[in-house]
Each structure stands twice: as C-alpha cells, then as structure tokens.
Amino acid sequence: MDRAAALDRVEALLDAVEAEEMPVPVREVWVYGDVALGLDPIDRLDVYLTKDILMRGDADAAADFEERLGVKGIGRTVRADWAEAHPEFVRANDNGYAAPEKCLAAHLLAESEADDEPVHLEVCNASFDDNVTQRLKGAVARDAYEQILDPRGVCLWVDGQRAEETMEKLRGGELPFPTLSGALEMLGLEDEQAADAADAMRAYRAEQTGTTVRGDVV
C-alpha cells in the first residue's frame, strides 16, 4: 500500500470519527507498525481504536432490531440510533450478537475500493499503551508471541482532539522508533526472547491478507 494513500485513508477515518455517529463511542485513534515507522510502501495499515462500552441498555430496541435484522444486542452493545441510520453496517459475531469492532470496521472502511484492502483494525476498551502491556504479558505466559501488539504506535486523535502536528510529522516520516525487537526489549523482554517474539510477530503478520478486524477487552 502506498504510504501517502495509507495516510489519506487515516485522515478520512479521523474525519469520520469526528463528524459521524459511531456504533460505539470512540475515545482514541492510533496507528502503529509500518505506517508509524515511515516505510513506503507499507505491507498493511494498522489502526487501533479505543472505544467506550455502552453503559445503558435498551431492551425494546434490542428486541425490535433482532426481529428486523436477525441480530441480537443492538441497543446494548452498539447504539440503536446508529443501527437505525446504518443498517447496512450492522455486523454480528458468531453467536449472533452485534459486534462493535465489526460494526466499526464496516462503517469506517466502507469506502474501501475492495475487500482485500490491506487494513487491520484493532478495537479495544483500553488505551493503546495499556493494551500493549496486557497483550505482552498474556502472550509471553501462553508462549504465543504472534499475539503481541506492536508497541510502536502514534496517537492521532483523543477525546475529540486531533493531533495535527503529530500527523504532519507522521507524513514527513519524522517520528523515530526502535526496531521491533528493540521495542520489545524496552518492555522487559530479554534479547533472545525479544528476537524470537519479533520473528513470530512478523511471520504471523505476513500471513494476514485483505481487511481484518480484531476486538479485545482488557
């Protein structure tokens, strides 16, 4: 993916988060990996969203939408008003419940020219830094290094404020980052362990194709 096109994609995503109602409240938008490092072209565009969980359920809306769309939980896991306005973007998990991360991906990536656009959307209720730490601990405990989240990230939007200066530096490739193994060492991994983890992460990422989305709860 051409770097300039990837960053234009990010700008369009930020515009949507700012101006449009999302299926769930979005608190932070980050990019990480290739696009943060200044590579051109990039293999994949990795975007991280921090979302809030809806606190008040709407049982009437949930029953209505389940009957109309065959999807459970609308009004509880995603906003009913959003689903009313964007029924084409409603997505469910394997259990038939509205999946916030899939709904966000459908809405934000709707303008993709093709389903195989190399974009990954990572959605979690925790901030990027907190999730990096939690994912690292869990992955090391399970010896599943491929599940580690690349810690080299850049925050572009938080609580309604866009980081314009950061975006300019990102476009100019002015943000310095260590190697992947070096970043993992900074998080506490030993040299050899960090190198093994970096290899596993790169191998797993190379297997991913098209548009992907992952939801996480910390």
- Asked if pLDDT for residue 122 goes beyond 70, the answer is yes
Average pLDDT over residues 169-173: 93
Average pLDDT over residues 166-182: 94
pLDDT band at 45 (very low <50, low <70, confident <90, very high): very high
Tens-digit pLDDT profile for residues 59-91: 778 888 998 899 999 999 999 999 999 999 999
User: How high is the pLDDT of residue 62?
Assistant: 82
Structural domain that includes position 176? 3-216
User: How high is the pLDDT of residue 115?
Assistant: 60
Average pLDDT over residues 25-43: 95
User: How high is the pLDDT of residue 58?
Assistant: 74
DSSP state of 187: T
User: How high is the pLDDT of residue 54?
Assistant: 81
User: How high is the pLDDT of residue 125?
Assistant: 95
Mean pLDDT (the chain) is: 93
User: How high is the pLDDT of residue 59?
Assistant: 74
Between these two residues, 175 and 114, which has the higher pLDDT value? Answer: 175
- Asked if pLDDT for residue 114 goes beyond 60, the answer is no
User: How high is the pLDDT of residue 111?
Assistant: 54
H/E stretch holding 3: helix 3-19
**Percent of the chain, pLDDT > 70?**
97
Average the pLDDT over each of 20-24, 72-76, 113-117, 145-149 and give the range with the smallest value: 113-117
Average pLDDT over residues 195-204: 96
Q: What is the pTM of this model?
A: 0.94
Tokens of 5: 């096109």
Domains identified in the chain, total number: 1
Q: How far are the Cα atoms of 10, 44, 201 from residue 40, in angstroms, in the given order? A: 15, 11, 20
Average the pLDDT over each of 53-62, 129-138, 181-190 and give the range with the smallest value: 53-62
- Asked if pLDDT for residue 113 goes beyond 60, the answer is no
- Tell me the residue ranges of DSSP E strands in the chain: 26-32, 45-51, 119-124, 153-158, 161-162, 212-216
pLDDT band at 140 (very low <50, low <70, confident <90, very high): very high
Q: CB of 70 within 8 A of CB of 50?
A: no
Q: What is the dihedral of CA 194, 195, 201, 207, to 10 degrees?
A: -170
